[in-house]
Amino acid sequence: MNNIATLPAAEGADTFCEGALLLPVHGVRSGEAYAVQDWVAEEVPVALEFNGISHAVMLATPLDLEDFALGFSLGEGILDAAHELYSVDIAPSDLGITVRLQVSSAAFNRLKQRRRTIAGRTGCGLCGTESLAHVSRELPVLGDATVALERQAIARAMSQFQSLQTLQQATGAVHAAAWCSAEGEVMWLREDVGRHNALDKLIGALASNDIDASTGFIAVTSRASFEMVQKTAMAAVPLLAAVSAPTSFAVATAERARLTLVGFARKDDLAVYSHPERLTTAGRELTSTSTGRRAH
């Protein structure tokens, strides 16, 4: 006897969800087995080619790939500015998606020099292991804040994420990165299964729309790795707020770039790991008023 209940499609499954596939799911709920159709986030190999040369392959959600290509190129220092990207061609295949970028001669020369440097220092060609010098590459040093950010602006931005993350609502499997105004309004948001990809997509969107990213801050739904600090600094954004923790290398990188790094940004709480002078509370500079361990 088949005692598996066939439930209606999951809530929202009757509405098309870009970036997700509707797949059969079996499970147990309240002790009863069930079968249902539900949305699962797409994850596909995405290959980036620069002027016909394959450079990197990432697993990503196949949304906003033009933004992804531009943001990745800027964050990696391949492009100095958005105008060095001439065109982007998206070519799907059975194996994944190839994103073909045509870039300026200067940008392509930088890429070739970087590839030669990596190959020479690793001794194993382009095996995917970059040199220590590249990992700790020079970053722009952010200037002093002209207008301090109110602590409550971060809480205001974080409170908007749930309603704006349409793909996360459908799948429960993706991260988001958002650029927020100094007042805490989420102005631009991108989603992806990878937290770094979401940030690349956001940075690409800001650059392609000529947004002065230095006038606001970036908030993310993940921990803050050093790569995310690095990408934020390269985009000239003065503050990165993460819902989870940073790593020690992320903190050291933020200190070096004079970037304000915030972790555990949840409701009205937060922890500032570098350059707290950019944040104010009730109009006063944020300073430590008590000691003791913070609960995770």
User: Catalytic positions, please?
Assistant: 124
Cα–Cα distance measured from residue 172 to residue 31, given in angstroms and rounded to the nearest whole number: 22
**DSSP per residue, 37-88:** EEEEE--EEEEEEETTEEEEEEEE-SSSHHHHHHHHHHHTTS-SSGGGEEEE
Query: How open is the CA angle 41-232-74, to the nearest 5 degrees?
Result: 80
What are the residues whose beta carbons fall under 8 Å from the beta carbon of 10, sequence distance 6 or more?
25, 36, 37, 38, 39
Count of all residues that appear for the chain in the document: 296
Q: Residue 72 and residue 76: Cα distance in Å, rounded?
A: 6
Report how far residue 226's alpha carbon sits from residue 282's, in angstroms, rounded to the nearest whole number: 30
Strands 44-50 and 53-60: antiparallel
